[in-house]
Structure 1
Amino acid sequence: MQAEIRRRIAERVWRPGDLIPGEAELAAEFGCARATVNRALQGLAESGLLERRRKAGTRVALDPVRKATLEIPVTRLEVEASGCRYGFHILERRKLRAPVEGADLMGLARNASLLFMRGLHTADGTPFLYEARWVNLVAVPEFAKEDFREMSPNEWLVRNQPFTRGKISFLAVPASPEQADALKAEEGTALFAIERTTWNAETAVTHVRLAYRPGYRMSTEI
């Protein structure tokens, strides 16, 4: 049903601003339950193609917005999908007072105690991704007990720690001495980087900066 509605919008059968048929009429046309129609329309509204208002019906959006869907990826799966052998190595691990910038990003007190980790993800033994991560042990105390020999912090958090919201930034950065050393790159080399902070309700879980090896390209779909 969603595919057909998308087609009608794309081919201007239903033009921007048009009021589309009601749920009961669409249910009769497609031979399905009205609840099924409601879910389909709601999904298209969330993607930006439709505008829904109570008692006013559903219209084709005047300015449709295509939204890219981003998920927190498991780095191991990305490496293995490329046909390479995955590895992870801890470079540094210790409890520290949160730096001012990190505390502000996570919404924590500036004297908060966090677990700081630096690690390197590898593909066939060569550097793939460098990460510097701050973890709020108040939110996830079990994290401190893990040795991460079988599973990286990235994968452990994805599998074990829920989050309700997050903030992601994409940026180009010159390789710092630590990043350059880990990724075997020249200091100052342009790197693609991601900064990501996640919260569970109002409690910050983790803030991480990821720096990929030179030449890395990220792709997504819209």
Structure 2
Amino acid sequence: MNQSKDATLHQRIVSDIEGRIVSGEWPPGHRIPFELDLTKEYDCSRMTVNKALTQLAKAGLIERRKKSGSFVTQPQAQSAVLEIHDIRAEVQSLNLSYAFTVSKREQRKAKAEDIRRLDVAPGSSVVDVVCVHLAGGRPFCLEQRLISLATVPEAATADFSETAPGAWLINQIPWSSAEHRIHAVSAGPDEAAALDIARHTACLVVERRTWSNVGPVTHVRFTYPGDRHALVARFAPASQ
């Protein structure tokens, strides 16, 4: 087998296994086929398979156990719930390629639900933007965001085609306080279509509101497939 073909097979094995893990087809704890089985499936050398599995292990997607085989690891945890995190960095920490697509951008007067979510005055103008963040070419997170134009008037001309709304806001205006709400939901038709999952799939939702010294900045709702994401916060005991 020449080196070029060997390298191509190596990348194919990595991509195939990575895709099955990210999609949820192979959930945490799933045993990866043994090296000998993968060697037969891809008609390649055991060295090629070993190299692919080693790369996946370094990426944190699988765990290799002596005499037991390789297993899908638990989802990578986001270590700072209360930080304003960058989804691009979150995806890249998994050693996956990052991209995002904007499926909706609308400027309008705030509706009753917008007023409740964003904490703005009746008659205020908002930007309503929806985008899907991708990891390794597959849906990773659905972002549904409202931005107050009273606080961030620059959002009226931002199209978010080059920079995702969250990263754009962080660079645009400092925030002084934030509120998080974390809960579980079953995927409805919109979430299922955006995330390419079955309806009623368990999802983790992180809702956040931020304010600046001027007023409300944004309300955002992040929806993640529940079997691919976890949140962890570190804290210390209060002073006695």
TM-score (normalizing by structure 1): 0.65
Among candidates 102, 108, 111, match of residue 120 of structure 2? 108
Conservation of the 8 A alpha-carbon contact between 1:185 and 1:214: no
Deviations along 1:126-176, one digit per CA (max 9) or x if unpaired, are: 000101111111211222222323321111112221111111100101112
Q: Give 5+ residue unaligned stretches, structure 2.
A: 1-79, 236-240
Q: Is 1:133 paired with 2:151?
A: no
Among candidates 190, 200, 224, match of residue 188 of structure 1? 200
Following superposition, the deviation at residue 185 of structure 1 comes to 1.0
* Structure-1 residue corresponding to 2:185: 173
Among candidates 205, 227, 230, match of residue 217 of structure 1? 230
Q: Is 1:142 paired with 2:154?
A: yes
* Structure-1 residue corresponding to 2:93: 81
Mapped partners of 2:135, 2:81: distance in 1: 26
Instruction: Give the counterpart letter for 1:189 in structure 2.
Output: T
Instruction: Give the counterpart letter for 1:205 in structure 2.
Output: V
Structure 1 window deviating more from structure 2 (155-164 vs 140-149): it is: 140-149
Instruction: Give the counterpart letter for 2:234 in structure 1.
Output: E
> What SS does structure 2 have at the residue aligned with 1:108?
coil
Mapped partners of 1:151, 1:202: distance in 2: 24
Mapped partners of 1:163, 1:109: distance in 2: 19
Instruction: Give the counterpart letter for 1:129 in structure 2.
Output: C
Structure 1 window deviating more from structure 2 (98-107 vs 115-124): it is: 98-107
Conservation of the 8 A alpha-carbon contact between 2:104 and 2:129: yes
Conservation of the 8 A alpha-carbon contact between 1:173 and 1:190: yes
* Structure-2 residue corresponding to 1:203: 215
Kindly report which structure 2 residues correspond to 1:1-12, keeping only aligned pairs within 5 A, or say none. Answer: none
> What SS does structure 1 have at the residue aligned with 2:231?
coil
Kindly report which structure 2 residues correspond to 1:43-82, keeping only aligned pairs within 5 A, or say none. Answer: 70-82=82-94
Structure 1: 4+ residue segments shifted above 4 A: none
> What SS does structure 1 have at the residue aligned with 2:219?
strand
Conservation of the 8 A alpha-carbon contact between 2:204 and 2:223: yes
Following superposition, the deviation at residue 110 of structure 1 comes to 3.0
Following superposition, the deviation at residue 106 of structure 1 comes to 2.6
Mapped partners of 2:223, 2:205: distance in 1: 4
Q: Is 1:154 paired with 2:166?
A: yes
Kindly report which structure 2 residues correspond to 1:21-60, keeping only aligned pairs within 5 A, or say none. Answer: none
Instruction: Give the counterpart letter for 2:93 in structure 1.
Output: A
Share of identical aligned residues, percent?
A: 34
Mapped partners of 1:162, 1:140: distance in 2: 11
Deviations along 1:155-201, one digit per CA (max 9) or x if unpaired, are: 11122211111111001011121111000111221100011111112
Deviations along 1:6-64, one digit per CA (max 9) or x if unpaired, are: xxxxxxxxxxxxxxxxxxxxxxxxxxxxxxxxxxxxxxxxxxxxxxxxxxxxxxxxxxx
Larger Rg over CA atoms: 1
Conservation of the 8 A alpha-carbon contact between 2:81 and 2:232: no
Mapped partners of 1:141, 1:113: distance in 2: 9
Mapped partners of 1:124, 1:137: distance in 2: 33
> What SS does structure 1 have at the residue aligned with 2:130?
strand
Instruction: Give the counterpart letter for 2:233 in structure 1.
Output: T
When the two chains are superposed, the root-mean-square deviation of aligned CA atoms in Å is 1.7
* Count of paired positions: 155
